[in-house]
């Protein structure tokens, strides 16, 4: 467990590496399904890590998930909140509905999500370092 005022990025980083692993594989139904599953937990770790970051670095208290990303955009941690709202919506789709069309729709957003998630991770690391520097 992280100490008070500390953020652990390792779980998020490992999850993103795991997502990258399946993104680099040739497409198949199995790869698509594995990618979606990894996307789901990467989205969860994105907002949970961001929540901790905003609390530690900016002393921001609880906020709804979408609001976390709006606040992150205000602080320059994410460039645009729009894609993050889309990723959250796609993540929610996977927990309520599953059919081929939904799977393909969700799979299509994973590559841009991966890029944005890596940028988010780096922005949080940089912000945390500045905060503690």
What the chain holds in terms of domains, given with CATH numbers, is 21-132 (1.20.120.330)
The alpha helices in 59-99, defined as continuous H runs, are 65-74, 81-96
Report pLDDT digits (tens) over 36-77: 999 999 999 999 999 999 999 999 987 899 999 999 999 999
Question: E strands of 40-127, at which residues?
Answer: none
The percentage of residues in the chain with a pLDDT greater than 70, rounded to a whole number, is 94
pLDDT (tens digit per residue) in 80-98: 999 999 999 999 988 766 7
- Please enumerate in sequence order all residues whose Cβ is within 8 A of that of 96, keeping only pairs 6 or more positions apart, or say none: none
Contact status, residue 50 vs residue 116, Cβ threshold 8 Å: no
Please tell me the predicted confidence (pLDDT) of residue 1: 43
- Please answer whether residues 19 and 36 qualify as being in contact, where contact means their C-beta atoms are separated by less than 8 angstroms: no
- CA angle at 51 for the pair 48 and 57, rounded to the nearest 5°: 135
């Amino acid at each position: 467990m992280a100490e008070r005022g500390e953020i652990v990025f390792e779980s998020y980083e490992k999850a993103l590496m795991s997502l990258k692993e399946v993104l680099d594989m040739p497409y198949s139904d199995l790869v698509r399904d594995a990618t979606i599953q990894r996307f789901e937990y990467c989205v969860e770790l994105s907002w949970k890590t961001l929540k901790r970051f905003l609390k530690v670095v900016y002393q921001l208290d609880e906020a709804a998930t979408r609001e976390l990303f709006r606040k992150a955009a205000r602080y320059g941690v994410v460039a645009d909140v729009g894609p993050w709202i889309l990723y959250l919506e796609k993540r929610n789709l996977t927990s309520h509905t599953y059919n081929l069309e939904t799977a393909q729709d969700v799979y299509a957003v994973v590559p841009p999500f991966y890029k944005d998630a890596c940028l988010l991770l780096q922005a949080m690391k940089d912000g945390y370092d500045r905060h503690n520097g």
